Amino acid sequence: MTDLRSTLERYVNMRQGLGYKFRRQAQRLADFVSFMEKRKAVTITTKLALKWATMPPDRNAAWVLRLTAVRGFACHVASLNPKTEVPPTGILPPLKRAPSSSGSSRYRASVTTSGKCTSCPARRSRPYLPCPTGRHGSEGAITPCCCSQPA
């Protein structure tokens, strides 16, 4: 067992001991350590981490997740081995999220047209959120708002 593998076991045990499930990340990191062992590398470098994270060339969505897992582990290892490089954030393109489903936009539309006041400056951009002052009644009953102008 390499020093990096035993460090990984301690790191996973620590994370799980803190209450994190950490199963998927542990598997990713075990794959990364195997990758490092095949190359006989003992120090994590940004170059190796990036090479491993981008190995499946057609799975861009997984790249960020893989590199994020290595980044956390590298931070831990850096406290033990000062030669360790922690891959910086932003070196891979960000994950592109799918556009919101029509269900969520329908929900927002039903909430915003349900008779609730949208005159609060804090609610103009996000009218589906409750009034920050709590001056609106429940169930759509409207009481004077924090920003209502007297008639």
pLDDT at 114 over 70: no
User: Residue 97 pLDDT > 90, yes or no?
Assistant: no
- What's the sign of the alpha-carbon dihedral 38, 43, 49, 51? negative
Question: End of a domain among 56, 78, 100?
Answer: 78
Maximum separation of any 2 CA atoms in the chain, in Å:
78
**Structural domains of the chain, count:** 2
Q: Is 97 within a domain?
A: no
Average pLDDT of the residues in 83-105: 77
pLDDT for the residue numbered 59: 76
Q: What angle do CA 11, 12, 15 make, to 5 degrees?
A: 85
Q: Which domain holds residue 119?
A: 112-151
Query: What does residue 144 show for φ and ψ, rounded to 5 degrees?
Result: -55, 135
Residue 107 falls within a domain, yes or no? no
Q: Give per-residue pLDDT as tens, 31-62.
A: 999 999 999 999 999 999 999 999 978 778 78
Residue 39: CB atoms within 10 A of its CB come to 11
| C-beta separation of 94 from 60 below 8 A | no
pTM confidence score: 0.63
45 inside domain: yes
Could you tell me if residue 29 is inside a domain?
yes
Domain presence at residue 35: yes
Residue 87 DSSP class: P
| Domain match, 15 and 73 both | yes
In a domain, 99, yes or no: no
Residue 52 lies in a domain: yes
Q: Which of 78, 97, 125 is the last residue of a domain?
A: 78
Residues 9, 74 within the same domain: yes
Determine, yes or no, domain membership for 88: no
